[in-house]
Chains A and B, each alone.
Chain A
Amino acid sequence: MQADAGARLSQWMEGVLACPARVIAITPLKGGGIQENWSVEAEVSGAARAYVLRKDARATIDASHSRRNEFALVQAAFHAGVTVPEPIGFCEDASVVGGPFALLAKVDGIGLGPKVVKDLKDQEGPELTARLAGELARIHTIRPPVQSLAFLGKPPADFALAEVALMRDWLDRLKLSRPGLEWALRWSELHIPKPAETTLIHRDFRTGNYMVEEGRLTAILDWEFACWGDPLFDIGWFMAECWRFSRPDLEAGGVGERAAFYEAYEQASGRRIDDAAVRAYEVLAHCRWAVIALQQGERHSSGREPLLDHALTGKIAEELELMALRMTSPDHWRLHHDGGFRR
């Protein structure tokens, strides 16, 4: 970041916040190669405040769209009462810090999934579980159309079928034949009921994508995959065994009981949860994560980004395929002679 970025950022913040603002320090945070995250310390109306500035490493048009869209999603969630880092503003002007950026309030806590699960004290689990269920119910109050989310496009006619088709397409693009995953995708196609409604879904709502401080939720993060879809997908994704880390016995994200999550979600949303549909989405969740893992592995094996962590992520696909197969043995197929499929 350029030396005089602080002064320009102060000026921009004064305009957005409509009060005196002075940036004291801008320091880099750990991040990937695509996105830069900076910690911003400032004095706003005489009080010390901390922010996170999110900016793409390379200011391409596509990249700035994605940052802006992510900011719009966080804003929509914030207005719906979801616990997210407070969105301060989005700046298109590349002259301020060298590229378009989003500014959000800094949130304290830990986010790493295995650590969240490991550090949680017994008495904290039930409260966090209920809180997460309530947050998800709030996300699912956002329904199309929403003008600021027009970039999400038209909701799919049948989200589950669209998701299965997308996974097949991704596998085809990878030029990988994975009959085990194909088996589980075919099962998903037949057994996930036609979605009853369409809402905003986070699509990556799981332990590891929210922050916790002393057992309490501080923010839901990682909104870049959100889309219009079936709210039950988010519940299935959250419950999926692959996101429970060292506590596979705690079916609600490794932090709580399935029944407690359902109860809190039903109370907050007024919906009845179709347990069979959620469990069917758990199969699809394993397929989706497996395909994403294979994509990561391909970044290594193609030589484009030969990083060891990409290669090891690719290897996770094996256990994910196994988990999906465990859930789709022949006695779990509702074949025609049993009275038909769910579809």
Chain B
Amino acid sequence: MSAGRPDALAMLLASAEAALRDKVIPASAGEARFAGLMAASAIGMAAREISLSRTLDKANADVAELAPEPSPFPDPLIALTHLIREGLMDGQEEAYLRLLRLAVTRTAVTRPKLLTSGERAMAGLNGVLP
């Protein structure tokens, strides 16, 4: 995939979201308006997920790396779940930071307005997130 394609797709979706928000939603009422708002929200999330795909992949990989190797579980996240439930990660700073970074990055996709400037900085979102 060339470097431009994900950006182009994200821009296409952002334009579709803008068309819904600027033209369709203001001219709608009731259930149609509500459906328009939901659709705009979903399209916005898809656009941000594409824009943030590298940051998301890195945050996911950092969390998966917390699982020990070798592990009896095929999926490192299942192994990690067991470690947490058994108390083997209790209060651990590094684990917490990686989990927080992933949650911040996922929220940057779904509801970026909720993030503090500190959280944007710690997840490397400044300059990536509009």
Contacts and interface: CB of A to CB of B under 8 A. Distances in A.
A309 B38 contact: yes
B103 A321 contact: yes
A329 B99 contact: no
A179 interface: yes
Interface string A115-159: 000000000000000000000000000000000000000000000
A318 B103 CA distance: 6
Contacts of A94: none
A316 B102 CA distance: 15
| Size class of the contact patch on chain B | 20 to 34
A299 interface: no
Given A308-B35, A322-B103, A179 B91 contact: no
Interface string B2-45: 00000000000000000000000000000000010011011001
Contacts of B42: 308, 311-312
A182 B109 contact: no
B110 interface: yes
B52 to A, nearest CB: 12
Nearest to A179: B80
A81 interface: no
A143 to B, nearest CB: 32
- The secondary structure that dominates the A interface is helix
Given A183-B84, A183-B89, A308-B39, A318 B96 contact: no
B81 A322 contact: no
Given A318-B110, A330-B92, A179 B99 contact: yes
Contact of B81 (A179, A325, A333): A179
Interface residues of A, number: 27
Contacts of A185: 85
Contacts of B95: 183
Interface of A: 168, 177-180, 182-183, 185-186, 190, 308-309, 311-312, 315-316, 318-319, 321-322, 325-326, 328-330, 333, 335
Interface of B: 35, 38-39, 41-42, 45, 63, 66, 75, 77-78, 80-81, 84-85, 87, 89-93, 95-96, 99-100, 102-104, 106-107, 109-111, 114
